A and B are shown apart, each in its own frame.
Chain A
Amino acid sequence: MNSFSYTRAQEVDTAVREVTQDKAAKFIAGGTNILDLMKENVERPDRLVDITRLPLQQVESNPEGGLRLGALVSNADTAYHPEVIERYPLLSKTILAGASAQLRNMATDGGNLFQRTRCYYFYDTATPCNKREPGSGCSAINGYNRIHAILGTSEQCIATHPSDMCVALAALDAVVNVKGPEGERQIKFEDFHRLPGNEPQYDNTVKTGEIVTSIDLPAEGFAKNYTYLKLRDRASYAFALVSVAVGLDLDGDTVREARVALGGVAHKPWRKPEAEALLKGQKATKENFRKVADALLQGAKGFGSNTFKIELAHRAIVRALVMATEMKKK
């Protein structure tokens, strides 16, 4: 780890100012991703601004009738919050499917959005990687790419976004509230993370100095029919190879509205409104679910070691939709 100086911010504005003025400064929240990467010399900030004492610790109602999650609420406190369990069980389930109990106690809701890819070459400073060092090349495309993306890739990068929580936030149409040197703004979740394109060094659309203050969940939480199906190499404490978050609004066996978001397959949680629209007013049958899977995976491309993900994702989508449909409210 490089040496760095440390300051503890007491106010949001001070934190924003400190990181805006010093380009090599970074926020630290739970520390579970940034310290890991600093130990590997992938991140080398010259100053860490500790934001854990900022007053962004509340889960409260928002004006839209939904819930507002403070950026510094821990992943564990979010997952076990009575209102999250009651109204947004999908979110609770995705959080609990990720990492370990210890890490979820440390990790924050804001930090979770910024966690970086688990691409092995990104972590290995001895190998070329466009995300870590723009222009150096991508070691994964022709290398070992079992955990890599099958959708929305570019010739520059085929990394995935590893978060589970973000897959639910995408399905729920969450909104991220940020504050920066130019004031506050809201970012729709679909616009928060980006595809790699020619600039894989940027994971998201947040600008230098901007801090996430909270995450808004809309009123609709799909609490009756939902599921999170996470497929991975071991039953717990492993990242998703493929994951599917589903929220259904059913009228008997007819679908009023469907949300399907995929994790582990792209540089961002993968959603396709056209695919979801195929179910609108249709019966909740396997046959119709297969059409959704076809549409969601249209254009999917494997790179050798990860080609199995295409079929795996197809089956996982159908199975998750069946699971959500068959769920009975206790």
Chain B
Amino acid sequence: MSSKVLTEPIGDVAVGLPPLQRVTLTINGAEKQLEVAPWTSLLDLLREYLDLTGTKKGCDHGQCGACTVLVDGKRINSCLTLAVMKDGCEITTVEGLSKGDQLHPVQEAFIEHDAFQCGYCTPGQICSAVGLINEGHAKTTDDIRELMSGNICRCGAYPGIVAAVEQALKVCQPNQ
């Protein structure tokens, strides 16, 4: 596990602005100590300051799900989350799902079922699906559709997405 202390402050520093806040986040297994402006969203922190651009910004208002990441194993919209509020939490982004070259079962299923076209919504879909599997409430195909409704796909790859999630559910929870 690597640890990185950021000496460059994150966010704008200008005279008269409220102070930066020190936070410790474990991102994809690596602990990071960071200084962030209070208004930095978790999404902006990941993309703009940590170069983790797998997580996408679609609407920036909680309406599309492209920014979905896992915080302590739970899926959330990183665009409506202040980074400073997640001090001490474990963040997993799409970059952190595979083990080396071995893809996560959800990633494999997405490839197998051709569950994307442009791919813009895909990291959010995949993180959301991992969260759905962790939650354990989806029993039927309709449940999958309903519980994935927070992820919009402009390309309309929904049939493939639902099939992929269905397969991944079986792989990850073989008893259900």
Contact = CB atoms under 8 A, between A and B. Distances in A.
Asked if chains A and B come from one complex, the reply is yes
Listed residue (B17, B19, B80) with the most chain A CB atoms within 10 angstroms of its CB: B80
Interface of B: 17-19, 21, 37-39, 41, 60-62, 65, 68, 74-77, 80-82, 84-85, 87, 128, 131-132, 135, 137, 145-151
A100 interface: yes
A1 interface: yes
Contacts, number: 88
Contacts of A76: 135
Interface in A25-78: 28, 31-32, 35-36, 39, 48, 50, 52, 76
A39 B61 contact: yes
A192 interface: no
A39 B146 CA distance: 28
Contact of A50 (B61, B76, B85): B85
A102 B19 contact: no
Nearest to A50: B85
Contacts of A99: 150
Interface stretch (A3-11, A145-153, A289-297, A310-318): A3-11
Interface size classification for chain A: 20 to 34
A103 B151 CA distance: 11
B80 A31 contact: yes
A35 B82 contact: yes
A31 B75 contact: no
Listed residue (A32, A102, A105) with the most chain B CB atoms within 10 angstroms of its CB: A102
Contacts of A141: none
A32 B62 contact: yes
Contact of B38 (A5, A103, A235): A5
